[in-house]
Amino acid sequence: MGAPMSADAPSTDFTRLAQYPGSGCEKYDRRAEIFGRDDVIPLWVADMDFPAPDFVTDALAERLADGAFGYAKPSEGHLEAITGWLAGQHDWQVGAETIVPVPGVVPAMAMAIRAFTSPGARVIIQPPVYFPFFQVVRDQGRERVENPLVEQVSPDGIRGYGMDFEALEAQAREAEMLLLCNPHNPGGRAWNEAELGEVAAICSRHDVMVISDEIHMDLTYPGIRHTPFARVADSAGCRWFTVTAPGKTFNTAGIGGGYAVIPDAEIRKRFDRERRGMHLGEGSVFGLTALKAAYTHGAKWPAELMAHVASNRDRVIEAVADLPIEPMWPEATYLLWLDCRGMGLSDAATDPGDTALQRFFIDEAGLGLSQGIIFGEPGRGYMRINLAAPTRIIDRAMAQLRAAWGKRVAGRGPA
């Protein structure tokens, strides 16, 4: 049990909705709370609508059948499954002793801030960015410093974010830590070696510790490779560690469980002291089971998944081609960042749920997307759509969007 039945069989049914109203999932069951109505097509929170791959569900079913849910200890080969995954998928060689289990990526960032920065210290983040980056700095009583990403258009017309290294250099002088999002959510950039090298050099010059969140590391589009921050960090002499988890890749976010990769023994010891001090244990029975199964049997899954996501991406890009919406070209993540500023709808209310842009998507298009402004000020006028859904859902969402925009434009009458 645990391995896929045949090498060619898909590992999941990309057409099946595993999450639906009443199934106890955030995506459907929090719609009324988030969007004010429960009939929008939910394409917001970053998990997948279809089931986790069969080699994960089989392993969990086997564990369930055992009926053994006492305190868990990682089984033999657990750490080797992690180091094998990092080596096999990312050409990243680490020793088993560098792996520290954590309950999740955001909790690990909280621990890192507490362990390595002083109260009131400045911590740099790069908005627009996954909104808990803001909260986790605030909640530890540290001061947030924003180093906004800059929009760039390549010579062949591809839109994507870059970093403002000049500002980063100045900000790093006064800061103690940088929370890096690599690959980037919501911008979809898979930062390259030159960019990460620059970050490492700046942070090394000013003794800023880098915590690299690599939870989206496996989710690169065909032809793109993830660059672990580790590849550039040590040669730059930077203090750093990486934190990641299998939850985004294998759709097991609700089970929880992640790990930090901390090659430096002193840093590891200090982080582990903080972690142990919180008495969070070594992980749940199901988290440990899911991780080991995923990393042991999942080598082909990221490509399988991202082929489906890429096809959905292309459908969305085509559907909005003649609307005043500009998607940012994603290199990674199943999240697509849509520049909606051309729609001419205000996104200026202080209550994020109540802007004209958000109301258009909810009330006229019937869509529950993530509003860009929650990722920070540079996200104003943007919306984020989750592509990890059955294709018919994406197509229906695009048909609703196009019809709603058509009605709007018709309602405006001749210019």
Ligand X SMILES: Cc1ncc(COP(=O)(O)O)c(C=O)c1O
Q: Under the rule (CB under 6 A), what is the footprint of ligand X?
A: 46, 104-106, 130, 181, 185, 213, 215, 245, 247, 253, 258
Q: Which is nearer to ligand X, 11 or 252 (CB)?
A: 252
Which residue number, 190 or 343, has a Cβ lying nearer to ligand X?
Answer: 190
Please, what is the minimum distance in Å from the beta carbon of residue 281 to ligand X?
15
Name which of 49 and 213 has its Cβ closer to ligand X: 213
Q: Coil, strand or helix: which one is 42?
A: strand
CB burial of 221-236 (b: ≥16 within 10 Å; e: otherwise) equals: beebebbbbbbbbeeb
Nearer to ligand X, 216 or 313 (CB): 216
Question: What residues have CB less than 8 Å from 287, skipping those under 6 apart?
Answer: 252, 255, 256, 257
Nearest approach, Cβ of 244 to ligand X (angstroms)? Answer: 9
The number of residues in the chain equals 415
Q: Cβ 126 to ligand X, closest distance in Å?
A: 11
Q: Measure CA 37 to chain center.
A: 26
Residue 109 has φ and ψ, to the nearest 5°, of -70, -40
Q: How far is the CB of 27 from ligand X (least distance, A)?
A: 12
**With respect to ligand X, which residue has the nearer C-beta, 204 or 371?**
371
Q: Which two tokens stand for residue 126?
A: 């790069």
Residue number with CB closer to ligand X (11 or 386): 386
Q: How far is the CB of 106 from ligand X (least distance, A)?
A: 4
Distance of CA 183 to the CA centre of its chain: 8
Helices 265-277 + 105-116 axis angle, to 10: 110
Token pair belonging to 138: 């605030």
Closest approach, Cβ 284 to ligand X, in A, equals: 13
240/360 with CB nearer ligand X? 240
Q: Strand pairing partners for 371? A: 383
- Of 215 and 316, nearer to ligand X (C-beta) is 215
Shortest reach from residue 4's CB to ligand X, in Å: 26
CB of 100 to ligand X, least distance (A): 14
Q: Which residue is nearest to ligand X (CB)?
A: 104
Q: Which structure tokens are listed for 371?
A: 């509003």
Q: Smallest distance from the beta carbon of 72 to ligand X, in angstroms?
A: 18
Q: How far is CA 156 from the centre of its chain?
A: 27
Q: Which is nearer to ligand X, 42 or 104 (CB)?
A: 104
End-to-end CA distance of the chain, in Å?
64
> Residue 46 or 398: which CB sits closer to ligand X?
46
Closest CA to 327 of 310, 308, 347: 310
CA distance 207 to 172: 8
Of the pair 319, 388, the CB lying nearest ligand X is at 388
Q: Annotate 322-386 with DSSP letters as a single string.
A: TTT-EEPPPSBSSEEEEE-GGG------SSGGGSHHHHIIIIIT-EEEEEGGGG-GGGTTEEEEE
CB distance 331 to 407 below 8 Å? no
Q: CA 128, 131, 134: angle at the middle one, nearest 5? A: 95
Distance CA 62, CA 30 (A): 31
In angstroms, give the least distance from the CB of 82 to ligand X: 15
User: Closest approach of Cβ 183 to ligand X, in Å?
Assistant: 8
Distance CA 38, CA 385 (A): 17
